[in-house]
Amino acid sequence: MHTFQRLVFVLLLATASSFLTAQSTASGKIIVNADLGKDTISKHIYGHFSEHLGHCIYGGFYVGENNAKIPNIKGVRTDVVDALKALKIPNLRWPGGCFADTYHWKDGIGPKSERPSIVNTWWGGVTEDNSFGTHDFLDMCELLGTEPYLSANVGSGTVKELADWIQYVNHDGTSPMADLRRKNGREKSWGVKYWGIGNEMWGCGGHMTPEFYANIYRQYVTFMTDWTNTGGLFRVASGAGGNNYNWTEVLMRDIPLRMLDAVALHHYSVIDWNAKGSATEYSEGQYFTIMKKALEMEELVQRHTTIMDKYDPKKRVALFVDEWGGWYNVEPGTNPGFLYQQNTMRDAMIAATTLNIFNNHCDRVKMANLAQTINVLQAVILTDEEKMLLTPTYHVMKMYNVHQDALLLPVDVQNCNYTFENQSLPALSASASRDNSGVTHISVANIDSKETKSVTVELRGIAVGTVEAEILRSAKLQDHNTFDQPDAIKPARFNGFKRNGNSIEMELPPFSVVVLAVKR
């Protein structure tokens, strides 16, 4: 080979090597505008959902008052109480879900031995003995220090049934339902604020048209009162499933704003409703598809918000995403109607990116409810008799609870890509806030399944002082906690960053979540 040819060959090799190096060290930048915050991230974005489904209530929250094997307070597991209090759950939605529109609340009050049984037609056809009812749930919420969010039965109930339930739980004066509550052992009312008027009325709640439901909604809320004339009840309309934008359009058009406090939205990350795939044994292609579905939440929130803005430009009506999460096939050998699935690092990625989206849209998104709390779908807790474990999703939500009721700081993400078979998704997701003590928290997720991302976080408007960080990561996407190894995945101190003036430079491993705490 001639000298000139050798020189050209060397230059081509160097160019190719440089290109490959650039590909393997993809970088992104996150600009935090720390002096431009104006909206507060409601703590209620970090809410949860507990339905009479599988072992969410029975065996999850509730093991019975006479259970000597598992420590409990009035039948509620103390280990679950401690874990959820550490998570700072702000609200808990109950009794459904689809179960709500088959539930008649009077079946769940009074002596347990006298409560009628029903068949849970939606979830497994099992017998529901109603041993966990209104008193049990609302007392448990007090134990947890969380606000109850009750879903009313519109599909098979009546207006009077809802009016009586409100009187039963909220009226402190003399009335038939308040007197019945006292007879059943509770003197003071619970003062429940959040009320959902039915659930998925386009589906399991009655397969209604939006026009029909809007009229039904108006009828129900007409007879809702808290006897104070101060707007103490927060009324939530059953909203759209995913991209059914016409549903939101009709509700906002046909329901007077004075009768409406929030519109709900449900969205699940599913590969295919007819072939959901395993919760633990999945390919990169299945992971990519799930993350694409999860990131669709950004468009859903934006487009439903745009419709709401047309009728409510002052943003008085909130958007409640009161069901969200990943949905897969049940674990082998379990009841298909119980929706019990494991929870891997894939679920941590769903949680991190979704919560970042909600934080960044906190001007309209005021509540969200992960589905579901224990043993069902994307749970934060799994139980097996006396055993309990915390899932990767639990750890993300605990890392992120620093954002609750903090001031949202706008972020500008100059992203890099996560690429799979000629398809690309934004690899980085981020949100930022400043708490009451002046600490700025920045949550960042790298969803790329293979590549570490070099990320620069530039803070504008404040001087950066000390920085601490926590990371959630694992060796494989499919990794998960088990009852034999409950701490296989848990947060750890993160030192993979360095200060550079008012910037923080860090190497974010594949499928990892980092939360930075920046003091001035």
Please identify which of the residues 128, 323, 451, 470 carries the catalytic annotation.
323
Backbone torsion region of residue 206, taken as left when φ is above 0, otherwise alpha when ψ lies between -120 and 50, otherwise beta? left
Catalytic annotation on 211?
Answer: no
Which of these, 374, 294, 303, 292, lies nearest to 339 by C-alpha position?
A: 374
Q: How far is CA 114 from the centre of its chain?
A: 36
**What are the respective helix, strand and coil percentages of the chain, to the nearest 5?**
30, 25, 40
CA distances 163 to 37, 166, 178, 212, 264, Å, are 41, 5, 12, 21, 21
Q: Residue 33 has which token pair?
A: 């505008």
d(CA 399, CA 315): 29
Q: Is 214 helix (H, G, I), strand (E, B) or coil?
A: helix
What is the DSSP track for 435-490?
-TTS-EEEEEEE--SS--EEEEEEEESS----EEEEEE--SSTT-B--SSSTTSS-
Number of residues written out for the chain: 520
Catalytic annotation on 505?
Answer: no
Let me know: does 480 contact 489? Beta carbons within 8 Å: yes
What is the DSSP track for 261-274?
SEEEEEEEE-S-TT
Burial of 118 (0-12, 13-18, 19+ CB in 10 A): middle
The β-bridge partners of 326 are 269
Strand order in the sheet with 492-493: 407-409, 428-434, 440-446, 512-518, 467-472, 492-493
Q: Residue 414 has which token pair?
A: 């100059």
d(CA 213, CA 211): 6
> CA dihedral defined by 509, 293, 410, 88, rounded to 10 degrees?
-80
Q: Are strands 407-409 and 76-77 parallel, antiparallel or unpaired?
A: unpaired
Which of these, 384, 401, 475, 386, lies nearest to 443 by C-alpha position?
A: 401
One-letter identity of residue 123: W
Please identify which of the residues 51, 200, 451, 458 carries the catalytic annotation.
200
Q: Residue 242 has which token pair?
A: 């995913």
The catalytic residues are 200, 323
